[in-house]
């Protein structure tokens, strides 16, 4: 459960005589597993085992002794591990009280300090603020307004980093009678402690300095030495005294880790720097250990780059924000690359809370060619690599002021071994273009998955000629109790005998339904006791019955028992949800997400959600969604259900509403999601259940094995700093795994264990896709036709060596070239020379006008198709083209495509894009020919017109042939998947017309708004300049509502 750094800290805790200190990380993990098992008992009882009773005694011993040692020792190397283990023991004891004994008294007393307060303060001393914050969020204190309750509240605020709330506490003053002299003295001590906390808040926010040590004052006042019958004794207010001891130690330690203490980077005035730190400290006042180490390197100084591979949830955002701030203060701009529009939305929202330089009125733009949002860059620019490549092609001069490139989730550049992936190729090409265009900028590459971060840092340093740090610590503030569902072999064996006998009686046909219903077995879980498993060590795993209930497995038509993983995942999820735990279930495709969410919802006991406030806060968005769909009954956002689905066919507003409702403490407790959610989206999940270790491939309609980093990335969603420091991860494997006894790891498990759970989060070794690109291109004969993805990159590479996009420039800077040099591979340069020769042949065999070459270089499209499209445009009267409406442009383009397979195949090259066309035309996605599409391509036009004219999803769905479902899936595929591709194509039309006319002497300002922004108008489903401008200024409004406003019956 504990990462190697935290495990090392625990192991370094001083030994206690008679205590379980050998293999302490594994022992604490096992106790947590037992508590979790008790928590989810299905019959409502909480039976305590003898083993857990022994654990309680052991935890008390650890907590008390190590807390005393924390107070007494001056040696930080002993104090920090002692504090961390004591805090963990206190926290586990508190969990047992709350979840086993149902004791929820958390009061501070004159003679005692409750476990939760000790745990919070000890975790803060032990450099684990995330654990402290999680406890503070979990504990409910007294609502009485007295000094003790105010002090408890202030400690919770301190743990959560809500320092302004501490400063806002107003003392509850009262008058005391003569008989209340002791109470007055006690309250004075509490008030001094509260004053000390308020002073700490002031210092950590950069408002004041330490003027008086209130905690030492309490230590002096709380103890009085007396003589009783000649015996020296001490009279003590034990509660205030002990609390003051802990707070006094914490004060020096916490103040040294305040973000307010980060020194200004070189060349930045402290008068600019301090206000930013104060704003950051208002939400995240503490530097974690890994932040502290990173800042000490001088990385924030301009001229320093970094590769940041901290694990999921380890605070990469704080490092990025500090670097962004330091860049802006040098009068430079920032480019922030993200892999998806969903993450783009999240990063925009997150950065807007801290920076005033965000252009949030802009709408999401992909790789389409448009002037919209491209006139100039903002101070901070968040976009996808596809959009970046387009802007670099259109207006490279706009990037001149960029001083920092942040590439979040940069593992996107990694090459797939089985096939060349266009997204990874484009992402790497984008990075290499930026190296060429911005050689003096700093680079910050971020990923939780990358193993060879130091190697990547060396590569960047070799290109920029400047320092590039590698921050590769595997520490993280949260931890996962990882496990896998397994079944007793004896139960499966008995069913196999029954099935064999039944099959002999019914030799033909599949198994009868009655027999299938009988296949119910007891689920067990094999837990990890270490962050990285070692199958040969028996104390590294722990097998335990999941619950007393049996789960139903499945039987296929070949009479074989199968895992029924989605049903099993739903049943496991139901028990966590009913325990009040936020749960994510990952499944392998959107259809399964819908059905599993429905199943889970049916399994849950009825729970009325109190969401009146939520609905009131989001009423505008909900109303806009209703208009967009035609009726909320078609939405994946449904407040009548306790479970929602999350996948790529949700509208962005549905996704945001569902995520917000899940984050709310009193909101829904479960999401069933596809892998899209695992990519960087932060949700406060306590439990992650992964249904299967394979995924659905939309390109092939088949399944493929999930890679280790993909499973671990999903697992990383369990636990979030300040919300759930301990997360639970359960894998329900695709194939059934059985076991013989609890002391031996199942053989069938070992392959999965070696493939996935024997690795750390950082297990992906980046491979440059350009290596595979080179191999594939250079291994072909000159007469061979290249696949479109390869040809597209070839056409974007310039054969003029003076250009920044030349083959020489791009490949000289590549990671592949760096690796080849490191490995002494002389064949690499030979392959690059061969690539140049092939690019020269491509250039010499085709003679086109300059504008055709320009468009081909920008788009990667075959110049023959560009020439054909340009010829057809040239035949038109320019003034007529300038007067075209959006609908007229659509009519013209699809007439040009009609019946021409070559044109269609070049413009819409991917198999997934063609599948979307087939779906929208009522063809079978698994069985169609391109000729079937191009011969019916005109049937797309009425559907597209309905979209542009503002019809809702219900109307659009009815225009698409074929069966649909209650979520209007056909319309969702058309709008969310196909429209962006059509938008790209319309952008190409616009680009060709403009480049053609520019070559004839036209100026940029001669082109009408619709021509310049045709792609964005199509993507947004708007038909006039006024509507698009209105959308830009009212970003949250959806398409249908904007049309209704302009038609006079919408709400302004």
Q: pLDDT tens digits, residue range 868-890?
A: 999 999 999 999 999 999 999 99
The pair of structure tokens assigned to 99 is 């979840």
Q: Measured between alpha carbons, how far apart are the two ends of the chain, in Å?
A: 53
Q: Which helix (H) or strand (E) holds 428?
A: helix 422-437
- Per the CB < 8 A criterion, the answer to whether 199 and 276 are in contact is no
Residue 760 has pLDDT above 60, yes or no: yes
Q: Which residues of 314-338 are buried (b: 16+ CB within 10 A; e: fewer)?
A: bbbbbbbbbbbbbbbbbebbbbbbb
Comparing 190-194, 229-233, 974-978, the range with the smallest average pLDDT is 229-233
**Is the per-residue pLDDT at 44 higher than 50?**
no
Residues 985 and 106: their CA atoms lie apart, in Å, by: 63
**pLDDT at residue 42 in the model:** 37
Task: Tokens 């695992």: give the residue.
Answer: 678
d(CA 457, CA 444): 10
Q: What is the pLDDT of residue 32?
A: 65
**Across residues 280-309, what is the average pLDDT?**
93
Q: What is the pLDDT of residues 182-203, one digit of tens each?
A: 888 888 999 999 999 999 999 9
* Average pLDDT, integer, range 15-40: 62
Torsion sign over Cα 602, 604, 607, 612: negative
Residue percentage of the chain with pLDDT more than 70: 86
Work out the pLDDT band at 475, boundaries 50, 70, 90: confident
- Coil vs helix vs strand at 256: helix
Closest CA to 856 of 799, 904, 801: 799
CA distance 908 to 868: 16
d(CA 973, CA 922): 12
Least confident range of 322-331, 369-378, 566-575: 369-378
Q: Is 230 helix (H, G, I), strand (E, B) or coil?
A: coil
Please list, in sequence order, all residues whose beta carbon lies within 8 angstroms of the beta carbon of residue 187, skipping any fewer than 6 positions away. Answer: 147, 176
pLDDT at 357: 54
pLDDT higher than threshold 70 for residue 412: yes
- In which region does residue 298 sit, left (phi positive, over 0), alpha (psi from -120 to 50) or beta (all else)? left
pLDDT band at 361 (very low <50, low <70, confident <90, very high): very low
d(CA 454, CA 471): 8
For residue 1, what pLDDT is reported?
Answer: 57
pLDDT surpasses 90 at 992: yes
Rounded to an integer, the average pLDDT of 854-862 is: 87
**Mean of the per-residue pLDDT values of the chain:** 85
3-state SS assignment for residue 889? helix
**CA 128 to CA 84: how far, in whole Å?**
8
Q: How confident is the model at residue 951 (pLDDT cuts 50, 70, 90)?
A: very high
pLDDT at 45 over 70: no
- Residue 679: CB atoms within 10 A of its CB come to 18
Alpha helices in 717-765 (DSSP H): 747-752
pLDDT at 360: 47
Q: What is the pLDDT of residue 486?
A: 92
Q: How confident is the model at residue 699 (pLDDT cuts 50, 70, 90)?
A: very low
Nearest-10 crossing angle of helices 788-796, 769-778: 100
Q: Which residue has the tokens 């709330």?
A: 165
What value, to the nearest 5°, has the Cα angle with vertex 729 and ends 4 and 534?
45
d(CA 765, CA 863): 37
Average pLDDT over residues 57-70: 84
- In the CATH scheme, what is the homologous superfamily, with its name and number, of domain 479-695+702-757? P-loop containing nucleotide triphosphate hydrolases (3.40.50.300)
pLDDT score for 635: 95
Helix (H) or strand (E) holding 1048: none
pLDDT band at residue 247 using 50, 70 and 90 as cut-offs:
very high
CA nearest neighbour of 978 among 1019, 1026, 948:
1019
pLDDT digit string, tens, across residues 627-675: 999 999 999 999 889 999 998 899 999 998 999 899 888 888 999 998 7
- Percent of the chain at pLDDT above 90? 42
Stronger pLDDT, 231 or 953, i.e. the higher one: 953
Residue 34 has pLDDT above 70, yes or no: no
User: What pLDDT score does 949 carry?
Assistant: 96
In 3-state terms, what secondary structure has residue 111? coil
Least confidently predicted of 331-335, 527-531, 823-827, 919-923? 527-531
116-135 pLDDT tens trace: 899 999 999 988 888 898 88
Cα 423 to Cα 340, 633, 680: the distances in Å are 11, 35, 17
pLDDT at 105: 54
Domains 265-471 and 479-695+702-757 share a fold: yes
798 forms beta bridges with 806
Cα(773)–Cα(830) distance, integer angstroms: 14
Domain ranges for the chain, please list them.
265-471, 479-695+702-757, 768-840, 846-1046
- Which of these, 815, 704, 707, lies nearest to 769 by C-alpha position? 815
Highest-confidence segment of 62-76, 100-114, 969-983: 969-983
Classify domain 265-471 by CATH architecture. Answer: 3-Layer(aba) Sandwich (3.40)
pLDDT category at 507 given cuts 50, 70, 90 is confident
Please say if the pLDDT value at position 533 is more than 70.
Answer: no
pLDDT at 952 over 90: yes
pLDDT greater than 60 at residue 321: yes
């Amino acid at each position: 459960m504990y990462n190697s750094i935290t495990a090392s800290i625990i192991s370094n805790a001083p030994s206690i005589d008679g205590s379980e200190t050998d293999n302490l990380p594994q022992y604490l993990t096992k106790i947590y597993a037992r508590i979790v098992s008790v928590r989810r008992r299905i019959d409502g009882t909480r039976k305590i085992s003898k083993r857990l009773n022994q654990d309680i005694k052991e935890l008390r011993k650890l907590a008390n002794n190590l807390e005393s040692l924390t107070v007494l020792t001056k040696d930080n190397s002993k104090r920090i591990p002692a504090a961390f283990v004591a805090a963990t023991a206190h926290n586990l004891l508190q969990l047992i009280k709350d979840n086993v004994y149902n004791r929820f008294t958390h009061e501070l007393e004159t003679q005692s300090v409750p476990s939760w307060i000790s745990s919070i303060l000890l975790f803060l001393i032990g450099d684990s603020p995330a654990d402290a914050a999680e406890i503070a969020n979990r504990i409910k204190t007294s609502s009485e307004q007295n000094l003790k309750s105010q002090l408890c509240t202030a400690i919770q605020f301190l743990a959560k980093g809500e320092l302004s709330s501490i400063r806002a506490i107003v003392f509850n003053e009262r008058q005391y009678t003569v008989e209340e002299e002791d109470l007055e003295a006690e309250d004075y001590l509490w008030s001094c402690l509260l004053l000390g906390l308020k002073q700490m808040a002031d210092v950590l926010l950069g408002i004041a300095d330490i003027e008086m040590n209130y905690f030492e004052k309490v230590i002096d006042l709380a103890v009085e030495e007396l003589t009783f019958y000649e015996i020296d004794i001490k009279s003590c207010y034990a509660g205030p005294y002990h609390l003051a001891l802990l707070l006094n130690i914490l004060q020096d330690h916490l103040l040294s880790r305040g973000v307010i203490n980060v020194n200004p980077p070189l060349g930045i005035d402290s008068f600019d720097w301090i206000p930013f730190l104060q704003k950051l400290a208002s939400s995240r006042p503490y530097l974690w250990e890994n932040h502290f180490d990173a800042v000490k390197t001088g990385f924030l100084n301009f001229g320093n780059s970094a590769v940041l591979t901290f694990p999921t949830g380890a605070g990469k955002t704080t490092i990025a924000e500090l670097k962004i701030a330091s860049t802006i203060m040098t009068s430079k701009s920032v480019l922030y690359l993200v892999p998806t529009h969903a993450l783009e939305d999240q990063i925009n929202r997150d950065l807007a809370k801290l920076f005033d330089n965000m252009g949030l009125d802009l709408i999401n733009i992909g790789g389409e060619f448009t002037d919209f949002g491209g006139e100039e860059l903002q101070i901070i620019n968040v976009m996808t690599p596809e959009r970046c490549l387009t802007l670099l092609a259109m207006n490279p001069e706009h990037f001149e002021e960029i001083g920092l490139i942040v590439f979040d989730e940069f593992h996107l550049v990694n090459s797939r071994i089985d096939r060349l992936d266009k997204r990874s190729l484009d992402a790497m090409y984008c990075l290499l273009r930026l190296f060429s265009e911005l050689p003096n900028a700093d680079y910050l590459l971020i990923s939780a998955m990358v193993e060879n971060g130091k190697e990547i840092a060396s590569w960047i340093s070799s290109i920029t000629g400047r320092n590039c740090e590698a921050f590769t610590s595997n520490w993280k503030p949260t931890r996962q109790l990882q496990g896998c569902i397994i079944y007793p072999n004896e139960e499966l064996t008995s069913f196999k005998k029954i099935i064999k006998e039944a099959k002999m009686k019914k030799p033909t046909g599949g198994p009868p339904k009655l027999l299938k219903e009988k296949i119910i077995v007891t689920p067990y879980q094999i837990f990890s006791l270490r962050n990285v498993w070692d199958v040969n060590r028996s104390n590294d795993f722990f097998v335990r019955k999941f619950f007393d209930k049996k789960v139903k497995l499945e039987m296929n038509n070949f009479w074989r028992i199968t895992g029924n993983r989605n049903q099993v995942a739903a049943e496991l999820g139901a028990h966590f949800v009913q325990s009040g735990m936020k749960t994510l279930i990952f499944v392998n495709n959107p259809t399964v997400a819908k059905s599993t969410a429905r199943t889970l919802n049916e399994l849950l006991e009825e729970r009325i959600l109190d969401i009146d406030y939520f609905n009131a806060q989001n009423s505008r968005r909900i109303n806009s969604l209703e208009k967009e769909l035609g009726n909320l009954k078609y939405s994946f956002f449904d407040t009548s259900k306790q479970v929602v689905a999350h996948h790529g066919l949700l509208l962005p507003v549905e996704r945001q509403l569902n995520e917000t409702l899940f984050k709310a403490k009193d909101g829904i407790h479960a999401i069933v999601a596809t892998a899209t959610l695992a990519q960087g989206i932060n949700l406060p999940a306590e439990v992650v259940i992964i249904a299967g270790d394979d995924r659905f491939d939309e390109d092939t309609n088949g399944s493929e094995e999930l890679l280790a980093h993909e499973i671990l990335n999903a697992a990383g969603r369990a636990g979030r700093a300040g919300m759930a420091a301990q997360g639970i991860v359960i894998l329900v494997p695709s194939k059934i795994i059985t076991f013989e006894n609890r002391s031996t790891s199942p053989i069938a498990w070992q392959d999965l264990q070696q493939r996935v759970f024997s690795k750390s989060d950082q297990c992906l070794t980046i491979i440059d896709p350009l290596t595979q690109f080179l191999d594939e291109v250079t291994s072909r004969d000159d007469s061979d036709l290249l696949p479109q993805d390869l040809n597209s990159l070839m056409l974007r590479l310039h054969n003029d060596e003076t250009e920044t996009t030349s083959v020489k420039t791009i490949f000289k800077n590549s990671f592949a070239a760096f690796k080849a040099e490191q490995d002494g591979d002389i064949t690499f340069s030979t392959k690059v020379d061969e690539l140049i020769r092939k690019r020269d042949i491509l250039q010499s065999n085709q003679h086109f006008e300059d504008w055709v070459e320009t468009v081909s270089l920008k788009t990667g499209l075959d110049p023959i198709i560009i020439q054909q499209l340009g010829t057809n445009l040239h035949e038109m009267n320019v003034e007529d083209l300038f007067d075209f409406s959006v609908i007229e442009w659509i009519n013209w383009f699809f007439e040009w495509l009609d019946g021409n397979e070559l044109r269609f195949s070049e413009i819409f090259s991917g198999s997934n894009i063609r599948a979307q066309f087939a779906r929208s035309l009522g063809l079978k996605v698994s069985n169609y020919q391109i000729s079937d599409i191009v011969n019916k391509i005109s049937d797309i036009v009425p559907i597209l017109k309905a979209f542009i004219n503002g019809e809702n999803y219900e109307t659009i769905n009815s225009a698409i042939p074929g069966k649909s479902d209650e979520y209007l899936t056909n319309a969702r595929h058309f709008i969310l998947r196909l429209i962006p591709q059509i938008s790209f194509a319309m952008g190409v039309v616009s680009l060709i017309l403009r480049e053609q006319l520019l070559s004839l002497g036209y100026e940029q300002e001669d082109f009408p708004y619709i021509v310049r922004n045709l792609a964005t108008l199509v993507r947004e489903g708007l038909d006039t300049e006024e509507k698009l401008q209105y959308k830009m200024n009212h970003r949250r409004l959806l398409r249908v509502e904007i049309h209704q406003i302009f038609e006079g019956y919408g709400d302004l």
